[in-house]
Amino acid sequence: MRMLLVCLWFVFSIPAWGQGYSLLVLGDSLSAGYRMAAEQSWPTLLTRQPPLAGAPLTVINASVSGETSQGGLTRLPALLQSHSPDWVLVELGANDGLRGLPVNQTQANLAAIITQSQAAGAQVVLMQIRLPRNYGRRFIDRFEGIYPALAKQFQLPLMPFLLESLYDQPALLFEDGLHPRAEAQPQIAAQIADFLAPLLTANRSNGAS
């Protein structure tokens, strides 16, 4: 009887992760590991964070420095076909904004990325993107408003911008103030893991594939 109780405790103490699953990170230099080795970037460190420890999660980092939303959209079909991810984390748009590309086009590209990912059977998480404050209030408001609008339209979780917790820690950013250093990557990985873990666990507990 005691052995049975021990076995039951072990079974029910295992996190409800279910079968193995995969996360495709579709991003730009903020996720690609700008000026650092790939193994130092936050996507590589993601599954080492306590909230995701033990999770049978495979992270496919398909991020490319300098990528725009159009570039991500162009590459997406091949990535979906090759990896069949369970989840897609979209971290794109910063380069669109920095280049002053049309906001409507960025929104259309991101909407197409979401639609194609969902059509392939993936769950989508959208990351909010912020621009430097010197781009003009009107443009910033229009650009940054894309993300909550898309999250509402497609009923997606909207993840906070990955640099938000670093703005009061300038030593963790490169001189451009736009890119996080290698020393910042564990902190970024931890905050993203904190956001993702409840979503992934709930999805698995509900029996999603």
Annotated domain spans of the chain:
19-205
Query: Over 70: is that where the pLDDT of 157 sits?
Result: yes
Mean pLDDT of 15-23: 70
Annotated active-site residue in 29, 31, 41, 69: 29
Mean pLDDT of 53-75: 96
Residue 20's pLDDT band (cuts 50, 70, 90): confident
Catalytic: 29? Answer: yes
| Predicted local confidence at residue 208, as pLDDT | 46
CATH architecture of 19-205: 3-Layer(aba) Sandwich (3.40)
User: By the 8 A CB rule, do 129 and 93 touch?
Assistant: yes
Query: How much is the pLDDT for 53?
Result: 85
Q: What is the pLDDT of residue 206?
A: 57
Provide long-range contacts, Cβ within 8 A and 24+ apart, for 50-54: 50/193, 51/193, 51/194, 51/196, 51/197, 52/193, 52/196, 52/197, 52/200, 54/14, 54/15, 54/17
Q: Which residue in the list 31, 69, 117, 179 is annotated as catalytic? A: 179
Is 47 a residue whose pLDDT tops 90? yes
One-letter identity of residue 166: L
Helices (H), the chain: 2-13, 29-32, 42-45, 69-83, 94-98, 103-119, 137-144, 146-154, 185-205
Confidence of residue 153 (pLDDT cuts 50, 70, 90): very high
The residue from 13, 168, 176, 209 that is catalytic is 176
> In the predicted model, what is the mean pLDDT of residues 89-104?
97
Above 70 in pLDDT, residue 38?
yes
